[in-house]
Structures are given as C-alpha cells and as structure tokens.
Structure 1
Amino acid sequence: MSNTLSKYLNILTYVMLGLTVIFVAMFYFGGEVPNAAYTTPVYTDSLIQWAKALFIITVGLSILFPVLQIVSDPKGAILGLAGLAGLGLIILVAYSLSDGTLLNLPGYTGEDNNVGALKFADTILYTMYILGVGAIVSIVVTETLRKFR
C-alpha cells in the first residue's frame, strides 16, 4: 500500500472513530423522549443510522478490496479463495450444529418463531462462537511462537 493511501486511510479511521464517539455520546447524554412508555434516548435513530452506514461501508470495502487484489495479483487470489472456502466450511459446520426446534413463547404471536429463522439465528451464533474462539487461539499461538523466536 502506498504511503499516501495509508496516510489518508489513517485520517479516515480517526474521523470515523471520532464521529462514532460523538454519536454514542449523543445517545447516552442527549436526553430522553418525553412521554415515552419506556426510557428512550432521543438520538437512538441517529445512532442506528450511523451503525447502518458503517455496516454498508464495511460490506462495500470488503467486496471492493478483494476484487482489486484479484485483478492486480491473480495468482495470489488462490489464498483468498482458500480463505473464502474455509469460511464457507465454518458456516456449513455451524449450520449443521443449529437447531430449528420451535420455542415455547407464551403470549408471542409474531412470525419469527419458525424453523428457518431459528436455524439462521443459531447458524450466525455458532459461526460467531467458532470465529471468536479461532481469533483468540490464533492470537495466543502467534504470541507464543513469537516468544520462541
């Protein structure tokens, strides 16, 4: 990565972090909606919209940079595809662990207590568990190997 691009990305990171701190501060210290049944911060919608914007930016960059990498280095794309295949395997394992048994929720009349929604939620949870444990293990292994070098 060029030095100039790295400089601009660092500035952009600090700007986005600063905006996030401002939105979170507005959420916690901006007061509450008057006459609401429950305590509801005034800036809840602003924080949610900011989180959506960050999510969309992340998804866009997560798609854009690998495509640019494949175009600039087609032989290096094999490692990226191997990582994608590994992620697919993790999701497949998480899906096989998921359970679609309907929940007994007295008084709930919504449509989300169905097999598809429950298997999807379980799949996402198990995927996050597997990736979280994998991240922790990789950090510990990396730091341990670094000590022996």
Structure 2
Amino acid sequence: MSNTLSKYLNILTYVMIGLTAVFVIMFYLGGEIPNQAHTTPVYTDLLINWAKVLFFASAALAILFPIIQIVVNPKGALKGLMGLVVLGLVILVSYSMSDATLLNLPGYTGTDNNPASLQFADTVLYTMYILGIGTVASIVVTEIIRRLR
C-alpha cells in the first residue's frame, strides 16, 4: 500500500473514532426525551444509525477487499478468502450466541417481539460487538508495534 493511501486511511480511522466518541458523548450527555415511559436519551436514533453505518461499511469492506485481492493477485486468492471466512465465522458465532426468547414488554402490542426478529437483532449486536472490539484491538496493537519499531 502506498504511503499516501496509508496516510489517508489513518486519518479516516481517527475521524471515524472521533465521530463515534462525539456521538457516544451526545448520547450520554444530550438529555432525555420528556414524557416517555422509560428513560430515552435524545440521541438514541443518531447513535444507532451511526452504528449501522459502521457495521455495513465494515461488512462491505470485508467482502470487497478480498474480491479485489482475488482479481489483482489470483495466486494469493486463498489469503483473500480468509477474510470472508473469518467474517462468516464471526456471524456464525454471533448467531449461536443470540437468543430468540420473547421479551416481556408490558403494554407493547407491536409485531417485532417475535423469535426471528429478536434473534436477528441479537446476531447483529453481537457481530457489531465482536467487530468493534477487534477493530479497536487491532488499532491499539498496530500503534504499539509501530512505536516499538
């Protein structure tokens, strides 16, 4: 990877981490929506939508980069496919950890409290947790290795 591209990707990483930190601070310190049955932070939707953007971007890039690797370097296709296999394993582990038990929600009459929706939501959440922790860990390890060289 060229130094220019690497520099831009590092800047993009720090911008995304900064935006995430700002959204989390807004979520916790932004106040609450009045007249709600439960405590509801004002910026809940913003944080959830940002998490969706990060999830879909990381999933798309995890699929896109191995495909580009296969086209550019067919002999190294096995290494490129390993990214897809790891992503599949993360989703499989997340699915196996998910729970489809119906929630006891007094007063809720909607249709989203069904086993399929609950298991999908759990799978997405666990996948996001695993990918997020892996991302932060890889950034920390990369920076430590870079400092030691």
Question: What TM-score range do you get, normalising by the shorter chain?
Answer: 0.5 to 0.7
**Amino-acid identity (%):** 63
Moved over 4 A (4+): 82-100, 105-114, 116-122
Deviation at 1:113, TM superposition (A): 5.1
Residue 80 of structure 1 is matched in structure 2 by 80
In the alignment, the residues of structure 1 paired with residue 98 and residue 23 of structure 2 have an alpha-carbon distance, to the nearest angstrom, of: 35
Q: What residue is the counterpart of 1:4 in the other structure?
A: 4
Please list every run of 5 or more consecutive structure 1 residues that lacks an aligned counterpart in the other structure. Answer: 136-149
Alignment map for 1:89-108 (pairs within 5 Å)? none
Does structure 1 residue 46 correspond to structure 2 residue 46?
yes
* 2:137 corresponds to: none
CA contact (8 A) 2:65 2:80 kept: no
Letter in 2 for 1:9: L
**In structure 1, what is the Cα distance between the partners aligned to 2:98 and 2:42?**
37
What is the SS of the residue equivalent to 1:75?
Answer: helix
Q: Which has the larger radius of gyration?
A: 1
CA, structure 1 residues 28+74, in 2 after alignment: closer, same or farther (shift >3 Å)?
A: same
- Partner amino acid, structure 1, of 2:28: Y
Following TM superposition, by how much is the alpha carbon of 1:90 offset from its aligned partner in structure 2, in angstroms? 8.4
For 1:36 and 1:96, locate their aligned partners in 2 and report how far apart those are by CA, in whole Å. Answer: 34
TM-score normalized by the length of structure 2? 0.61
> 1:140 maps to what in 2?
none
- 2:63–2:84 contact (8 Å) kept in structure 1: no
Deviation at 1:15, TM superposition (A): 0.5
Q: Give structure 2 stretches of 5+ with no counterpart.
A: 135-149
Per the TM alignment, residue 77 of structure 1 is displaced from its structure 2 partner at its CA by 0.4
Q: Tell me by how many angstroms 1:85 deviates.
A: 5.2
| TM-score w.r.t. length of structure 1 | 0.61
